[in-house]
Structure 1
Amino acid sequence: MEQNKPQQTQEKRGMWSSRFGFLMAAVGSAVGLGNLWKFPYLAGENGGGAFVLVYVVLVVILGFTLMLAELSIGRNTNSDAFGAYSKIKKGWGFVGGFGILAGFLILSYYSVVGGWVIKYIVASITGIGADKGAYFTNFITSPVEPIVYHLIFMGLTALIVIRGISGGIEKASKIVMPALFIMLAVIVLRSVTLEGASAGLKYYLTPNFDEITLKVIIAALGQVFFSLSLGMGCMVTYGSYLNKDSDIEKDALLIPSLDSLVAIMAGFAILPAVFAFGFEPSQGPGLMFVTLPAVFENMPLGMFFSVIFFVLVFFAAISSSISLMEVTVAFGIDRLRWSRTTSVMVFTAVMFVIGIGASLSMGAWSGFLIPWIDGNSYGIFDFLDVVTSYYLLPLGGLLSAIFIGFVWGVPNAVKEIRIGSKFRSEKIWSVLIKFVVPVLVFIILLSTTGLLDKIIG
């Protein structure tokens, strides 16, 4: 009976049925809303081509190193994020716990934005009106409509995850991610052929090396870290469903490369069009939900391209949300001994309730503020974003690097990696995971909490 337990556990948890399916799911986890609006904005704000160059270099250093670390932990233990660290070293489950908590809280408000995207797919067909800013503000401050779309987004996420790894997440990712690349390519082609697009291309691609400052490097560091779903347990969890003969070294190179390709393509899709019609790139919802609808309205066949764009954004959002959901669901299955159905239903319900608060904080509950250790007070939506993005994710990434480098030990990690790959970059990776990555992530942590400015100042 004892010999059959590992097999039964694998069948219960599920496994990827193909390498392509795993890659599409992992890339889908990494590709999200940040690729489609934040990367183009950051590139424009931080020196254009200079930022892109710094970003690519850091993807190789930080992205590959931590990606390989998390995949190796997951595959070695065949467990959820909390259980993975506990199995290797008793008492270290809290490292994975940071990731699970981060993923849980992120999806609680991320799904609200996912609901906005669904609304804008509909609005692209029915019409938004002349005042794009007022339309967006009136929608997100409504006490009912955003919550309905939030529920729809959470429901779609749950439907995919409840079907399991190969039957749900993998099958959906095999459809969603190739479609995302195709639709993004269509938008890029339309954008770069607009009259006046050359100004945006020049802005995006011409590097000004004088602008490579500490601020630019830190901005690129943060984007690499948050874009790749590092520190939130996603890659540990996805790695736990891999077969032992999988080449995780190659996967750890391909996933950041494809994620970065989407981000760079998003720059080609958005910036030339924004410049062609005389708009300025702006951060966050302003770019995606106010500026771009105005761009599409002025574009030939604008409604067609607007629908394609927001469907593209929805695909990016749902591919990330299913990975965030799976992190918490795997915890429910492995630690709490729940069935997959129970785990999905319970966590979906709790996330939905928290998301209601996040949505209402844009309008009816805007006066309810939560004080935080940085001295500021935040609405529920912003509070969840600050706690996860500025604290939990960097802390999780830092502890993961320390865990591999000094607790589990590089030799043990290398032994796991070499099961399915030749791993020629062992010496370089060893230095990166033990010394370079912890320093870089620590700088991110200092920067996002405001401590770096005080130290430099």
Structure 2
Amino acid sequence: MNQLDSNREQWNSRIGFILAAMGSAVGLGNIWRFSYVTGENGGAAFLVIYLLCILAIGIPVVLAEFTIGKKAQSDVVGSFEKLAPGKPWIVAGIMGVASAFIILSFYGVVAGWTVKYFFSYLTGGFTVQDSSEYVGIFVGFISSPFQPLLWQFIFMSMTIGIVYLGVKKGIEASNKILMPSLAILVIILAGYSLSLGGASEAFSFLFTPDWSALKEPKVYLAALGQAFFSLSLGMGALITYGGYLSKKEKLPGAAVSVAGLDTLFALVAGLMIFPAVFAFGISPDEGAGLAFITLPSIFEQMAFGTLFGLLFFLLLAAAALSSAVSLLEVAVAYFIRKFTWSRKKASIIVGSIIFLMGVPSSLGQGIWSNIRFFDNDILDSMDFIASNILLPLGGLIIALFMGWGWKKSDALEASDFGDSALGHAWIFTLRFIAPIAIFIIFLASTGIIKFE
């Protein structure tokens, strides 16, 4: 085990680590999920609560995950084995690996859809007579038994290929391309969208709070949940990435950078989507169909709509890829250490298993649509297990471990805070505020408590 640790891969640079961690956080959720959750929960008032949740919960838990990984220099399970040998905290690590398998299995299906749409626009767009036909196009595609599997396979192959190449040559190098490219794409698309005529309504919606919305408890829950999930908390990706840091790297600034850039990306993505939505008279709370049905129908009516659609789905696919890479790495890092496999072997075997696990989620949109669990199809059921149970519980255990399970002075030293007021405030947050907030997310997302 010591030999493995001494040969452990590390990031080539601090900026490479930050971009990779940002890549883990920036995914489909930042683009379409952030937009429709904002739309469903009153716009600007939701945004204010969301930003407070990022500051109060998001950044402290991001820093906790980085600290655990950097101190242990191991994968998500190995980190808890090293820092708390023989203690039940390891459950958080096991949940992280399980989450990686489950989330990437269905995430790869949806990401495959984005790749398919990108190639459709690359070859000239969709041939439709009426914008209402986009519903039929989307439903027809995802219910096909073979097409979605092909695009899921293509997407998973790209993900496996990047992880196969290693931390520096694969994950870091790809994110040094993907993250700046995403930033450029989202700025270009936002700029064009703001020129369509819906800019004033979009700015009003996003930045003029309707404080009456704060009377609704569900707004707080939605903001808390979005902050938690948008930063990829609880799945072990940030612990795994922190494990490739050298001891000399300082963590608080990195945590703030990742959370700040992730939030900024989500806001600019909102400025990309909402002006177009308002300009064409679409409701801002369209839901998950926004990306694959509503926006393509808008692109059809726009000047340069095919180009806009091409760039939009390139953006979605690239964001999905950066997140998928981090999920696969969580599982691959564990198998490399646990079974002393080579990175190449682990990447191919684990990636192939995850692809096969995703097949039911894909077929559940079509020929297996009659298979349902608690009134959800297979994909939504997998999403529910991972997002509503495993991630909140994993995040809860991580916060409790850092706050209570690790000696306070050791935790402060490992986090680079030292004996500072900010450090003590961080520990206080992880002991009391974050666990309560995350537990509320868990209770509400599983339906144990309901907010009407």
Q: Give the TM-score, by structure 2 length.
A: 0.95
Letter in 1 for 2:114: V
- Partner residue of 2:104? 107
Trace 1:85-104 onto structure 2 (pairs within 5 A). 85-89=80-84, 90-91=86-87, 92-104=89-101
Q: Given the alignment, which residue of 25, 28, 36 partners 1:33?
A: 28
Q: Given the alignment, which residue of 55, 63, 88 partners 1:60?
A: 55
- Partner residue of 1:134? 136
Trace 1:37-436 onto structure 2 (pairs within 5 A). 37-89=32-84, 90-91=86-87, 92-125=89-122, 126-128=124-126, 129=128, 130=130, 131-212=133-214, 213-370=216-373, 376-418=374-416, 425-436=422-433
Distance in 1 of aligned mates of 2:325 and 2:246: 21
Distance in 1 of aligned mates of 2:105 and 2:286: 21
- Once the two structures are overlaid, the 10-residue window that deviates more, 27-36 or 197-206, is 197-206
CA, structure 1 residues 285+217, in 2 after alignment: closer, same or farther (shift >3 Å)? closer
CA, structure 1 residues 321+345, in 2 after alignment: closer, same or farther (shift >3 Å)? same
CA contact under 8 A between 1:158 and 1:344: conserved in structure 2?
Answer: yes
Structure 1 residue 306, shift from structure 2 partner = 1.0
Letter in 2 for 1:259: D
CA contact under 8 A between 2:143 and 2:366: conserved in structure 1?
Answer: yes
CA, structure 1 residues 82+284, in 2 after alignment: closer, same or farther (shift >3 Å)? farther
- Per-residue CA deviations over 1:387-416 (Å, capped at 9, x if unaligned) read 001100000011111111111133221111
Distance in 1 of aligned mates of 2:91 and 2:400: 13
CA contact under 8 A between 1:38 and 1:283: conserved in structure 2?
Answer: no
Letter in 2 for 1:192: L
Structure 1 residue 360, shift from structure 2 partner = 0.2
CA, structure 1 residues 279+321, in 2 after alignment: closer, same or farther (shift >3 Å)? same
Letter in 2 for 1:174: K
- After TM superposition, the runs of 4+ consecutive aligned structure 1 residues lying more than 3 A away are 5-8, 282-285, 421-424
Structure 1 residue 282, shift from structure 2 partner = 4.0
- Partner residue of 2:5? 9
Tell me, what secondary structure is at the counterpart of 1:367? Answer: coil
Q: % of aligned pairs identical? A: 41
Letter in 2 for 1:106: I
Cα RMSD of the aligned pairs, angstroms, is: 1.6
Structure 1 residue 71, shift from structure 2 partner = 0.5
CA contact under 8 A between 1:100 and 1:328: conserved in structure 2?
Answer: yes
Distance in 2 of aligned mates of 1:44 and 1:257: 21
CA contact under 8 A between 1:108 and 1:352: conserved in structure 2?
Answer: yes
Letter in 2 for 1:59: I
CA contact under 8 A between 1:81 and 1:236: conserved in structure 2?
Answer: yes
Distance in 2 of aligned mates of 1:253 and 1:403: 21
- The answer for unaligned runs of 5 or more in structure 1 is 371-375
Tell me, what secondary structure is at the counterpart of 1:378? Answer: coil
Structure 1 residue 330, shift from structure 2 partner = 0.4
Distance in 2 of aligned mates of 1:248 and 1:258: 15
Structure 1 residue 100, shift from structure 2 partner = 1.0
Distance in 2 of aligned mates of 1:196 and 1:232: 38
- Once the two structures are overlaid, the 10-residue window that deviates more, 278-287 or 138-147, is 278-287
- Partner residue of 1:373? none
Distance in 2 of aligned mates of 1:99 and 1:46: 29
- Per-residue CA deviations over 1:358-413 (Å, capped at 9, x if unaligned) read 1000000011223xxxxx24322111100001100000011111111111133221
- Partner residue of 2:435? 438
- Per-residue CA deviations over 1:207-263 (Å, capped at 9, x if unaligned) read 011211321111000001011010000000000000111111101111010000011
Distance in 2 of aligned mates of 1:172 and 1:234: 16
CA contact under 8 A between 1:200 and 1:276: conserved in structure 2?
Answer: no
CA, structure 1 residues 148+395, in 2 after alignment: closer, same or farther (shift >3 Å)? same
Tell me, what secondary structure is at the counterpart of 2:449? Answer: helix
CA contact under 8 A between 1:29 and 1:234: conserved in structure 2?
Answer: yes
CA contact under 8 A between 1:249 and 1:423: conserved in structure 2?
Answer: no
| Residues paired across the two proteins, number | 444
Distance in 1 of aligned mates of 2:419 and 2:170: 32
Tell me, what secondary structure is at the counterpart of 1:17? Answer: coil
CA contact under 8 A between 1:111 and 1:150: conserved in structure 2?
Answer: yes
CA, structure 1 residues 85+283, in 2 after alignment: closer, same or farther (shift >3 Å)? farther
Distance in 2 of aligned mates of 1:424 and 1:194: 48
Letter in 1 for 2:16: G
- The answer for unaligned runs of 5 or more in structure 2 is none
Q: Give the TM-score, by structure 1 length.
A: 0.94
- Once the two structures are overlaid, the 10-residue window that deviates more, 291-300 or 26-35, is 291-300
Tell me, what secondary structure is at the counterpart of 1:450? Answer: coil
Distance in 2 of aligned mates of 1:33 and 1:410: 36
Distance in 1 of aligned mates of 2:356 and 2:198: 46
Letter in 2 for 1:134: G
Letter in 2 for 1:325: L
Structure 1 residue 422, shift from structure 2 partner = 8.7
Distance in 2 of aligned mates of 1:259 and 1:423: 27
Structure 1 residue 79, shift from structure 2 partner = 0.8
